[in-house]
Amino acid sequence: MSDYNFAYLDEQTKRMIRRAILKGLAIPGYQVPFASREMPMPYGWGTGGVQVSAAVLKPDDTFKVIDQGADDTTNAVSIRRFFQKTAGVAVTEATEEASVIQTRHRIPEAELRADQILVYQVPIPEPLRFLEPSEVETRKMHALEEYGLMHVKLYEDISQHGDIATAYAYPVKVEGRYVMDPSPIPKFDNPKLKMAGIQLFGAGREQRIYAIPPYTDVVSLDFEDYPFQPTKADHACDLCGAEDSYLDELIMDDAGKRMFMCSDTDYCATRRKGGHIGAQGAPHREDAA
């Protein structure tokens, strides 16, 4: 791949993206338009995250990619290989070894440090989109801090279902100003959005970048009498026994028997290495998962 620049994008494009990132960091939660490029993977498959990663990666970085919390899902493998090829950076599956982590739909269970960057792939950056389809209108609503529609939606959920019927991509308010879509992470992950690391969000098709600087206040929208509740399956991980991690549900046989396992594969493997074994788990072996 020597025909391409380091991390694929040309330096001018990277500078353009970095300017958008800096603006995003300066105005937490604000969606900065940027001239998204066509990437060699399809729109909707992480092109925003890939462009942000390309703009922040340095040759000495260690890169990790997760999709649904897992390092070995096909699209995570594909994106990791892309940067191995085009940037030659070191890659890892260990959350704590990574300096840049690109993610789709999850925040790692392990707490991130100040020297780590978390890059999110974002499909629809606009939290108000499904209440108001027009971009012209939603930008106006953000400018005027007009978020009543969102509260009405949450209220209507409660009156209809007795609960806020949003389970992922749960809207948050950033530093008391912008309502932001945290990307389709389960609401279980929302409390982790206030963290020591830098969080960057890239939406390639929609041409938007936004950011949460370290330790920024991020509040999940709720009501006093219906406070926000992060939820997960009411089980422990069947592999490592963790009770505090987000779980995937697997169908095991034709009778529909279920098992639960950590969605964060590195978290699960690290626990098993440390000797934790769940109800159906095996002791850790290097060659197994």
Partner 1 sequence: MYVAVKGGERAIDNAHAWLAEERRGDSSVPELSLAQIKEQMALAVNRVMAEGSLYDPDLAALAIKQARGDLIEAIFLIRAYRTTLPRLGGSEPIATEDMACDRRVSATFKDAPGGQVLGPTFDYTHRLLDFKLAAEGAVAAAPVAPTHEGHTPHIMSFLDKEGLIQPEPPGPDVPDDLTRTPLELPASRALRLQSLTRGDEGFVLGMAYSTQRGYARNHAFVAELRIGVVAVEMEIAELGFAIEIGEITVTECETVNQFQGSKTEPPQFTRGYGLVFGMTERKAISMALVDRALRWKELGEDNLGAPAQDEEFVLYHCDNIQATGFLEHIKLPHYVDFQSELELIRKLRREAQGNMSQEAAQ
Residues that bind partner 1 (CB under 8 A): 4, 8, 10, 33-40, 42-45, 47, 67-69, 72-78, 81, 104-106, 123, 134-136, 161-163, 165, 167-169, 184-188, 205, 207, 231-233, 238-239, 246-249, 252, 259, 261, 263, 265, 280-282, 288-289
**212, 218 in Cβ contact below 8 A?**
yes
Whole-number Å distance between alpha carbons of 268 and 242? 8
Given 29, 46, 48, 69, the catalytic residue: 29
Residue in 82, 91, 96, 90 with CA at minimum distance from that of residue 51: 82
CB of 215 to partner 1, least distance (A): 26
Whole-number Å distance between alpha carbons of 154 and 133? 18
Whole-number Å distance between alpha carbons of 61 and 102? 13
Neighbours of 286 (CB within 10 A): 5
CB of 93 to partner 1, least distance (A): 11
For the chain, how are helix, strand and coil distributed in percent, rounded to 5?
30, 20, 50
Given 24, 49, 69, 262, the catalytic residue: 262
Residue number with CB closer to partner 1 (115 or 160): 160
CB of 115 to partner 1, least distance (A): 26
Residue number with CB closer to partner 1 (26 or 279): 279
Query: Active-site residue 29, yes or no?
Result: yes
Residue number with CB closer to partner 1 (52 or 216): 52
Residue number with CB closer to partner 1 (62 or 68): 68
Query: Active-site residue 274, yes or no?
Result: no
**60, 49 in Cβ contact below 8 A?**
no
Given 24, 46, 48, 268, the catalytic residue: 268
Residue number with CB closer to partner 1 (60 or 286): 286
Given 48, 202, 204, 240, the catalytic residue: 240
Query: Active-site residue 240, yes or no?
Result: yes
**171, 179 in Cβ contact below 8 A?**
yes
CB of 72 to partner 1, least distance (A): 5
Distances (CA, A) of 68 to 102, 167, 184, 221: 11, 15, 10, 24
Q: Could you list the active site residues?
A: 29, 237, 240, 262, 268
